[in-house]
Amino acid sequence: MVRGVDVSHHNGPINWTQLKNEGITFAYIKSTEGMSHVDRNYMKNYRDAKQSHVKTGTYHFYTFCLDGEMQAQHFIRHTTVGSADLIPAIDVEHSPVNRYSNDKDYIKKVVYELVKLEKEMHDHYGVRPIIYTNNDCYKLYIADNLPENLIWMSDLHNEPNIKDNDWIIWQFSHTGNINGIKGDIDLNYYRYSFRQFNQLLMP
């Protein structure tokens, strides 16, 4: 099993060498959110994870309805994406700032700016970012609008079951307990083999 974590400054100090020794192969690290927020632990986490030989990627937390191009440019300015890093990720989920609404115009606006964000990142990096999401957001914003992107699905109860069964990473826990980090950590696994894992790496 190819095991991974995703982290932000909320996780506090991390002993990346210990995580590697615990069998963690890859990590997605939060870099940016919206058009102005930068995670204060990003650069340290990114540097330390790479030095510990954990395959490292970076994600942007999409803020609904804000200008997608500006969010992408913010991510690009503050993020390191090197050869053999994981392809960049976009986090699409409801939150206190990303409210749920069944209003059609609101959903259309969420999708419109998300597609702009994805396009700008695709144009810059030459690869389509992986989309992190959950069942509700997948159905509302992703399924019919970003069909070519790899899917990183959060489901804390069951193995993901989405259209065409086309998820590639499954986030199965928000309450993992691993030596090297205090408190809960998000746990993930890559669906296929170590050999196929290369599909997630930047050229």
Structure tokens at 13: 């100090």
pLDDT value at 13 more than 90: yes
For 84-109, what is each residue's pLDDT tens digit?
999 999 999 999 999 999 999 999 99
Q: How many domains does the chain have?
A: 1
**Structural domain that includes position 7:** 2-200
| 5, 186 contact by CB (below 8 A) | yes
Per-residue pLDDT tens over the stretch 146-179:
999 999 999 999 988 887 658 999 999 999 999 9
Predicted structure pTM score: 0.96
Separation of alpha carbons 30 and 6, rounded Å: 8
Contact present, 157 and 175 (Cβ < 8 Å): no
* Rounded Cα distance, 76 and 80, in Å: 8
Give the pLDDT band (50/70/90) at residue 64: very high
Domain of 127, CATH number, reads 3.20.20.80
Task: Please state, as a whole number, how many other Cβ atoms lie within 10 Å of the Cβ of residue 34.
Answer: 18
Classify 198 as helix, strand or coil.
helix
